[in-house]
């Protein structure tokens, strides 16, 4: 598994990276392995509010449908629409294929660094 050290991680297996006050969110390598081949992504719209710890969309794989859980509260300012036509990017490029960007972040879930997240994943899997 790959756990880039410049990212933070939630216990629901999303990664987060903050760029100029905007939270960029995707799913981790652990998540995409657990899901299997992603075939569909249900995304929020720009301007939608997201709440830390609550679902903002879902991913459908050949195995199951899983909620995407926001690690932050704020307003969606960008959606990766490329995923609508190519959801498999979440498998092949999970750390490049961000899902949403959130601005005006007001709350954050408890986030883990790469080492803490790797240890958490080892307990789970």
Residue 100 is predicted with a pLDDT of: 98
Confidence band, pLDDT 50/70/90 cuts, at residue 50: very high
pLDDT tens for residues 85-111?
Answer: 999 999 999 999 999 999 999 999 899
Residue 11 is predicted with a pLDDT of: 96
Confidence band, pLDDT 50/70/90 cuts, at residue 28: very high
pLDDT tens for residues 7-21?
Answer: 999 999 999 999 999
**For residues 9 and 3, what is the distance between their CA atoms, to the nearest angstrom?**
9
Confidence band, pLDDT 50/70/90 cuts, at residue 63: confident
Residue 22 is predicted with a pLDDT of: 97
**For residues 40 and 120, what is the distance between their CA atoms, to the nearest angstrom?**
27
pLDDT over 80 (residue 113) = yes
pLDDT over 90 (residue 124) = no
Q: In sequence order, what DSSP letters do the residues of 60-113 get, joined into one string?
A: EESS-EEEEE-SEEEEEEEE-THHHH-TTHHHH-TTTS--EEEEEEEEE---B-
Residue 1 is predicted with a pLDDT of: 87
Q: Which domains does the chain have, with CATH numbers?
A: 8-109 (2.40.50.100)
Strands 65-69 and 8-9: unpaired
């Amino acid at each position: 598994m790959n756990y880039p050290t410049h990212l933070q991680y939630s216990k629901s297996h999303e990664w987060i990276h903050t760029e100029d006050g905007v939270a960029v969110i995707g799913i981790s390598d652990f998540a995409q392995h657990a899901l299997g081949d992603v075939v569909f992504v249900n995304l929020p719209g720009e301007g939608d509010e997201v709440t830390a710890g609550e679902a903002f969309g879902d991913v459908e794989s050949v195995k199951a449908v899983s909620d995407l859980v926001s690690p932050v509260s704020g307003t969606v300012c960008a959606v990766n629409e490329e995923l609508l036509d190519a959801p498999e990017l979440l498998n092949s490029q999970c750390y490049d294929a961000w899902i949403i960007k959130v601005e005006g972040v007001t709350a954050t879930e408890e986030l883990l660094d790469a080492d803490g997240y790797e240890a958490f994943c080892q307990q789970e899997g």
